[in-house]
Chain A
Amino acid sequence: MLIPPILSAPLHMIPIPLIERICRLMFGRIAKAHPGLFERLDEHREKRFAFLPTDLPLAFVVVPGKQEISVLRQPVDIVADAVTEAPLFLLLGLMEGRCDADALFFSRDLSVTGDMEAMLAMRNALDASNIDLQKDLAKLAGPFAPIARRVIGEVRDRALKDQMKPAGEAAAWN
């Protein structure tokens, strides 16, 4: 499931500092809900991890050890140790461990470049963390939390349904 251009287009106009502020709020909320989130990163904690949603005009660079997140406008020459590219909903699915990174790599929906040790450690840290964006982020909506929870849940269910596509009969070999 891709973000339709009609929804991603306004992101060209919204000031980066505003987007960055929202992202930091969400990052802080997730880090608070999962204090051991990056424990598995070991020596990779201070590295720069870039996440590039292929259906958004934005890029996100995270330094887990400093709990830092910065937002850049794409296209941009990213300075990072490891770079992951995939549609936004797949990146979010990976964050929650609801998608399998290897399967997305095999299907070419996800691409990774740079430091593969750091990338693997990040993948495993996220997979082990039990992040639940519906639960973790809905609270940010204050009195509208129940509505936010329902909307996040519905969008997520739809995105995950789209992701599990059969490979077809031609995939049998031997």
Chain B
Amino acid sequence: MELICPAGTPAAFHEAVDAGADAVYCGFRDETNARNFPGLNFSREELRESIAYAKRKGTQTFVALNTFMRAGSEEIWYKGAADAVALGADALILADFGLMAHVAEKYPQQRLHVSVQASASNPDAINFLVDAFNAQRVVLPRTLTIADIARIGKNIRCEMEVFVFGGLCVMAEGRCSLSSYATGKSPNMNGVCSPASHVRYRKDGGELVSELGEFTINRFPAGEAAGYPTLCKGRFDIADSNGYAFEDPVSLDVMGELEALKAAGVKALKIEGRQRGKAYVAEVVSTMKAALNSPPERRAPLLARLRSMSEGQKTTSGAYEKRWR
């Protein structure tokens, strides 16, 4: 199985390639991708240099253009696609059907991957994208069990890529409006989940308080590991109780299920984290590569060290190993 690794800067890109990534995914420094954070991402020139570096090392580059086009401003996304193709991207990761149609028509030779942001999570939806736009791979949402993935795999006509490590989005990606509700901005349209412009941290005695817009997301007592200020992982007062309404601050790790994912027909394993630093990328990619090359019984000790870098310093197999239904 291929290891698909994140990069938010050219420095992180180099680290991912050097650590053994089979492919690195990245985006332009604008609203065309779902990690449009201040100071992050690639200029055209940086992407050109990075792709050249990757090619020299036999690594592929996937360019994420996975936000939804704004009516009247389609040119921003069309230009992103044209530039990514011209710069030699091995695949474009797309979410918007209009952009998929544009790429399929203008660049029929270009490999097209369906972003998780497209919310294609059943065989009918996926096969439609294969037939209509010649999609060659789908990135599945983190809301499916491994049994679901295996069932989908038997009934679709393209490759499957799944997230195995990193940030855990528990929502129907591409359809989540929690961030929009709180801030007016979303990963789908603006490329930002919990935009930094609306995030505030403050100390209240020994507690760390995180706020998003007008909402208090969490109060972490002294010594408790912290998490991102996302509504889906907030701790709220609900009726008479106080707790996590959707999910704890926790990261995904399903590397313990590699054999099952392989048996389910998964072609590529994706690491989340374009917003993370190059130290994280280097450590996670090299550890994951070592785990992939190790027998199953030796993977857990290797991966345990990554928990200290994870949100809430905890990891979960999430819906992949759903036990509560």
Instruction: Give A contacts to B, CB under 8 Å.
Output: 40-42, 44, 93, 97-103, 105-108, 111-113, 116-125, 127-130, 164-169, 171-174
Contact = CB atoms under 8 A, between A and B. Distances in A.
B218 to A, nearest CB: 12
A78 to B, nearest CB: 14
B230 to A, nearest CB: 13
A82 to B, nearest CB: 10
A127 B12 contact: yes
A40 B280 CA distance: 20
Contacts, number: 137
Contacts of B79: none
A117 B196 contact: yes
A64 B312 CA distance: 32
Interface of B: 8-12, 37-40, 196-197, 199-203, 208, 220, 222-227, 248-250, 275-280, 283, 304-305, 307-318, 321, 323
Given A124-B38, A174-B250, 11 more contacts: A41-B39, A98-B279, A99-B279, A116-B196, A120-B196, A123-B277, A124-B9, A164-B305, A164-B308, A168-B307, A171-B313
Contact of B202 (A99, A113, A127, A130): A113
B305 A124 contact: no
Contact of A106 (B283, B310, B316): B310
B227 A106 contact: yes
B307 A171 contact: yes
A122 B199 CA distance: 16
Contacts of B39: 40-42, 44, 120-125, 128
Residue with the highest number of chain A CB atoms closer than 10 Å, among B12, B38, B40: B38
A99 B208 CA distance: 21
B248 A167 contact: no
Contacts of B318: 174
